[in-house]
Amino acid sequence: MNSITSTKRSGRDSFRLATLTFLAVGGITTLVGLAIVPFIIRKMETQYLTVQSDNNEQRARSLARFAELRLKDGHQPGDVSADLQAILTGADVNRGYSCIVDRADSSLICHPLAEAIGKSIARKDIQFVSTEAGITPRATSEPWFEAIARAETESGKLITGTGKSEIVHMQPIKGTNWTVATHENTETVENALAKLRATLILGSIGIGLLLAIPSSFAARAVNRRHERHLENERERSDRLLLNILPEPIAERLKSSDGIIADRHEDITVLFADIVGFTSLAAKTSAADLVAWLNEVVSLIDDICTRYDLEKIKTIGDAYMLCGGLSGDKQEAAENVIKAGKDMLEAVQSVPLECSGGKLNMRIGVHTGELIAGVIGKRKIAYDVWGDVVNTASRIESSGIPGQIQISSTTADLVRETFELESRGSIPIKGKGEMELWLVRDSA
């Protein structure tokens, strides 16, 4: 939702900028406005600076929010700064970029240029002028490191000893001594506006309308390039969250600090366990074992994606997934079974030298009601709870290597799609006698 809103806002800003450019150039022929050209150019510059100031603020808030979430999850400051550095690396410092400053000693802890990390901004002749919306000066200048030290959310301009200026927005990161500073170099735009001013004055009589349309498209293209730059940074931050949480949960976590918990009905849960893994682990080197397990789990992750299922977690050599959190429940149950069949093939497709042959899996599947939510302070996790989870695990434990064993509840959902074989009533810990089924093939 935040991404959609941001896209709509960027589109409106781009449209307004293009419209203003068109009116500025086209109005010359009707107003014969040699005197009005400077005023129009100032308006265009103000509009551009307003758009870029908003972009700066959005980038700074996005980075600060990302850091706050990571710290809240219990990640160490060093790990968070490394994540931030990975996001910032590669930015074009000649146009617009972000950096992280430690207010305690005014040093740069994250910067697109690795050689700048650790250096103090206090040693540089950089003055800060606080502004209203990044445009109108509100006070006299002061050293930038003193403005950073105030730990306030603030927009303004940075002016170097050589007269170079940048738009800047400062966003403190809660619970730390860090401040995010996003920059936008105005020199390129000022040069472009100066050239445009000369063009408008020289071409104000007779050629204004010829320039109106291409100028408006050019202005919109420039703004779109900046929008893409901002969107790329936002996507990089989002990808880090999506490695931990499902996309809808990640969106809710970004927009709310409250408890995230939902009750779902008719969810199909699958437990899979590699047969004989414990004994193999005892006689396999750590590197070989982890490499083999990583390849198998990666294949299963791809299977989950293929069938639109949700990976919940892995515990040792066990893998847990579920289907039905969104979409049709029967289709989800069928996709879980299809995924299980592919998992059996996947584990046999990856050889482990010391196993003496192909390895196998036991798979158990059950359908029912569960609760899903996000828990924890450190290394937060999306997890599920309920009788269906425990039952699926116990169905797997009583299963047959190389087979998918399912409950009657699941069987009722998939029997029209798959050929099933009843195993009769089997004692299940905590449940008593349950009729269980083996999935043989497609019906």
- For residues 102 and 36, state if they share a domain: yes
- For residues 182 and 267, state if they share a domain: no
Would you say residue 442 has pLDDT above 70? no
**What's the rounded Cα separation, in Å, for the pair 382 and 66?**
18
369 in a domain, yes or no?
Answer: yes
Would you say residue 315 has pLDDT above 60? yes
- For residues 204 and 269, state if they share a domain: no
**What's the rounded Cα separation, in Å, for the pair 171 and 154?**
7
Rounded mean pLDDT, 351-357? 66
- For residues 217 and 292, state if they share a domain: no
71 in a domain, yes or no?
Answer: yes
Q: What pLDDT sits at residue 260?
A: 72
CA 98 to chain centre: 17
Of the three residues 242, 274, 292, the one that is the final residue of a domain is 242
- For residues 392 and 323, state if they share a domain: yes
Question: For residue 71, what is the domain's CATH number?
Answer: 3.30.450.20
- For residues 115 and 190, state if they share a domain: yes
Q: What pLDDT sits at residue 205?
A: 56
Please write the tens of the pLDDT for every residue from 247-299: 666 676 666 767 777 888 999 999 999 998 888 888 888 888 888 899 999 99
Please write the tens of the pLDDT for every residue from 116-159: 899 998 888 888 988 855 455 555 788 988 888 988 888 888 88
Question: For residue 383, what is the domain's CATH number?
Answer: 3.30.70.1230
Domain count, the chain: 2
Would you say residue 207 has pLDDT above 60? no
- For residues 213 and 325, state if they share a domain: no
- For residues 71 and 151, state if they share a domain: yes
Structural domain including 37 reads: 2-242
254 in a domain, yes or no?
Answer: no
For residue 153, count CB atoms less than 10 angstroms from its CB and return exposed for 0-12, middle for 13-18, buried for 19 or more: middle
Position 351: which residue type?
P
- For residues 120 and 145, state if they share a domain: yes
